[in-house]
Each structure stands twice: as C-alpha cells, then as structure tokens.
Amino acid sequence: DCRKLEIRPRTDFIIKPLTLNDVKEVDDFWPYKSAGSPYIISRNIKYNFSMGAYHPESGELCAWVIHSELGTLALLYVKNNYRRRGLAEDLVVRICRTLAEQGYDASAHIEDTNEASTRLFTKLGFRPIEYNFWFIREDHEIASKASVATVAGLYGQTMKHG
C-alpha cells in the first residue's frame, strides 16, 4: 500500500505540482518528444497528478514525474546537476501517496535499459507484472509537407506497487 511509504520533509527544494508553465521544459528533456508531445504533457499536467522539485532560490525546475492518462507514472526525470540527491525517490513516493489517498494504484512503465529506475521502483516496493513492447512513432516532415512516420520498438516492463 503506497500510503505506507514515508514522505521525507525537504528544505533544499520546493516540491509541488507541475504547472502548464513547465510543459516546454519537460518536453525538452523527453527523449520521445514529437510535434504532439507538448499537447500530451500539458493535458497530463492539467488533468492528472504531477510533482516537481524546484530550486528554492532560482525557481528552476530540477526534477519531475507525471501520472499519465494511461494510469502509470511517466516522464520521471532529474536534471544531471541535481542527481544523487534522492529527488526521484521523493517525487515518486509523494505522487504514489497522493494516488493512494485518492484510491488509485501506482504503476510505472520502465524501459529495459533504465536500470536506475528499475532499482528505484523495486526499492519502493514495486514488482514487475508484465513485459511490454511499445511502438514509437517519429514524425518527419518532408519537402512536400507530407508527414512520414518512422516506427521503432521499445522493450520494457510494467511495475506495480504492492
């Protein structure tokens, strides 16, 4: 039960929900960004739970996680300068607690190559429940203004808390 996860108080960062002002920055760091990704990110920030860690002096967005329309934690990211400070863990714990308090389960899709996320989610009590293959469509505009899609594959697992 995610309600048993302990939220540690932080004084070194301001932890709060993302706003629509954060869409461009989140999109800039998303490896699967596309022409439509700002819309996807803004829709998820507007209608779902999210958490961000902001620098207390500069206001810089340093780390974030979003609960996606698929019902999974998504887009978890910590900027390089702020890694190894427990931000990813704190954000995941906070959003999982928020979900649990609203009666929702917490799960996450994790790429096979993302060993750090797999370790983090395992440490927090998540367990693999299925293996996935996702199709990633990349839009490329060509001279005739027609859209050509390149499709690639991505392997990973769905992990669920509990």
Reported as a pLDDT band with limits 50, 70 and 90, residue 150 is low
Per-residue pLDDT, averaged over 94-111, amounts to: 92
- What local confidence, expressed as pLDDT, does residue 15 receive? 97
Q: 73 CB contacts (<8 Å, ≥6 apart)?
A: 65, 66, 67, 92, 95, 96, 106, 107, 108
Per-residue pLDDT, averaged over 92-113, amounts to: 92
Q: Write out pLDDT tens, residues 14-29.
A: 999 999 999 999 999 9
Confidence check: pLDDT of 153 > 70? no
Which of the pair, 32 or 107, is modelled with greater confidence? 107
Confidence check: pLDDT of 143 > 50? no
Q: What is the mean pLDDT of the chain?
A: 88
Q: Which domain holds residue 110?
A: 2-161
Closest-CA residue to 29 (of 18, 17, 13): 18
Confidence check: pLDDT of 151 > 60? no
- What local confidence, expressed as pLDDT, does residue 3 receive? 85
Find the angle CA(94)-CA(27)-CA(109) to the nearest 5 degrees.
50
Domain count, the chain: 1
Reported as a pLDDT band with limits 50, 70 and 90, residue 144 is very low
Tell me the CA distances in angstroms from 44 to 18, 41, 116, 126, 145, one per residue in order. Answer: 10, 5, 24, 22, 29
- What local confidence, expressed as pLDDT, does residue 156 receive? 75
| CATH code for the domain in which residue 30 is found | 3.40.630.30
* DSSP single-letter state for residue 20: G
